């Protein structure tokens, strides 16, 4: 077994090591991370959560995801775009989410902007940066998984150019991983290839 490679879980099935680090991660790893996500609202949610995760552990966000969904009305772009100052103050007082003023403000501004886009435009833009999977061999260990790629740098640049706030190359790559634009499950992992 390669150091940082797939590790047998309690059920004997091999997984990425991080996917076994907490109980919360097992289901997320097995059923969600790396699986294709489509839809403007669905991608808006992931984009927002990755921005809120910036500087924090993903487990912090994962454990508060339902709180985020309640606070931001299921991340429906049309709804969040209508949030006003009262909603902003409510969000900044909501202990069920990360109460970071810059991240809350970016989420509200991004929703207002995205509400002006055509249906499917966010989905099309994000997925246009998915690399050819044939050119990406399975990482043998987590140490081979990059934090930034040329594609994530280009995606972040394209989103910023269109006015999206709080997204950089690392956040864009985390989004690409979480939403299945890339498959960074390590070689031998039970979830590799969306199994």
Q: Which of 28, 42, 117, 187 is catalytic?
A: 28
Q: Answer whether 178's CB lies under 8 Å from 50's CB.
A: yes
Annotated binding site: 16, 29, 185, 189
Answer yes or no: 50 catalytic.
yes
What is the radius of gyration, based on Cα positions, of the chain?
A: 17
Tokens of 140: 């043998």
1 bridge partner residues: none
**173, 194 contact by CB (below 8 A):** no
Report the C-alpha gap between 186 and 1 in whole angstroms: 11
Question: Which member of 50, 127, 151, 173 is catalytic?
Answer: 50
Residue from 125, 145, 122, 157 nearest 192 by CA: 145
Residue of 42, 58, 117, 187 marked catalytic: 58
Give the residue ranges of the annotated binding site for Zn(2+): 16, 29, 185, 189
| Active-site residue list | 28, 50, 58
């Amino acid at each position: 077994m390669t150091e940082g490679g797939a590790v047998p879980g309690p059920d004997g099935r091999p997984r990425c090591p991080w996917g076994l680090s907490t109980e919360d991660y097992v289901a997320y790893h097995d059923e969600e991370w790396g699986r294709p996500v489509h839809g403007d609202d669905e991608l808006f949610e992931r984009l927002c959560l990755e921005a809120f995760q910036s500087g924090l552990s993903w487990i912090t966000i994962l454990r508060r995801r339902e709180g985020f969904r309640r606070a931001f009305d299921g991340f429906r772009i049309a709804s969040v775009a209508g949030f006003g100052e009262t909603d902003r103050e409510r969000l900044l007082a909501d202990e069920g989410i990360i109460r970071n003023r810059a991240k809350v403000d970016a989420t509200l501004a991004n929703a207002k902007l995205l509400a002006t886009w055509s249906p499917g435009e966010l989905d099309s833009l994000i997925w246009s940066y998915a690399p050819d999977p044939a050119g990406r061999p399975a990482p043998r260990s987590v140490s081979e998984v990059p934090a930034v790629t040329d594609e994530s740098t280009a995606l972040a640049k394209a989103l910023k150019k269109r006015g999206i706030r709080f997204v950089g190359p690392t956040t864009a790559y985390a989004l690409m991983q979480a939403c299945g634009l890339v498959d960074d499950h390590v070689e031998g992992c039970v979830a590799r290839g969306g199994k």
